[in-house]
Chain A
Amino acid sequence: MPIKILSVDDSRTIRLIVGRSLRPYDCILCEAANGEEGLVAAAREKPDIILLDVTMPVMDGVTMLTKLKEDPALKSIPVIMLTAESGRDNVIHIARLGVRDYLVKPFKEEQLIDKVGRIVQLKKKEVSAPVAAPVPAV
């Protein structure tokens, strides 16, 4: 069963990089462009893990995370924060809200895979074998 990953970031660029990083793995990527859309997507898709940006319009990542943790149906979904802000107080603040990990931008794709792989089991997609001609029923 593929891992379901929700990427919440207002930057399409970051969502594309996340998608490119995860392409070799057996997973389904869902996307949302702000915290409000992210909460709706989380409730609908029940992802195995959420990658969450901090600074976004409409609803920021900290507010989304707070609401997520208040929802009994969603609070157990592990969250990795993707943030351009590595300040000590910022990291302590988001850690207290219950994130499993955080990744500071700029980041290398291998770092993202490493962080995600520590929380969910990522499996490489199998190279599909040539499809055999269907055997006619006797």
Chain B
Amino acid sequence: MNVQTPSLDIRHYLTGHLVEVFETMLSMKVTPLTAGQPPVFIERVTGSVGFGGDTVTGAVYLHLSATFANRITTAMLGLPPDEAIGETEVNDVIGECTNMLAGGLKSTLCDRSYDCAVSTPATIRGTSFVIESPQDVQHELLIFDYDGVRFAVEVHIKFNQTN
């Protein structure tokens, strides 16, 4: 089977999709940043969803500071911003946001004949960790700003070209 490289601009697609997810579910208007340093977090919350099939594999990560993750959670659940919330609620909300991002990407890939399935979301917490991928995997880092707070979406994707 000869697999063509898909006519898909992953950066462009995911940028638009993230803006839509935040505006629809959180009523937050976020700004994509075209340049600048990746955000540095003291305490980080990362949502992750994997996807895989015969011709494509990868993962979508949503990186946020713990403070911003809490803010997103209260917005999503319709709670007062200063409401005390537990890690379980934050993990579920960040997982669901990541799931929406990955679900959109999966649909776009499937529409281009790159059939794949998505995993259920997982959440990683920590003060210092790096997600690395093999050299032959395409890596994209998208940076966004909301109200002076930076956060990022990271995508690792590999198209399996078979001849």
Contacts and interface: CB of A to CB of B under 8 A. Distances in A.
Contacts of A87: 106-111
A18 B128 CA distance: 36
B59 interface: no
SS class, residues of chain B in contact with chain A: helix
A36 B76 CA distance: 27
Interface stretch (A5-13, A94-102, A129-137): A5-13
Contact of B89 (A10, A12, A89, A107): A12
Contacts of B76: 13, 17
B96 A20 contact: no
Contacts of B102: 84
Contacts of B78: 20
Interface residues of A, number: 23
Contacts of B20: 106
A107 B106 CA distance: 17
Nearest to B102: A84
A12 B92 contact: yes
B32 interface: no
Interface of A: 10-14, 16-17, 20, 55-57, 83-90, 105-108
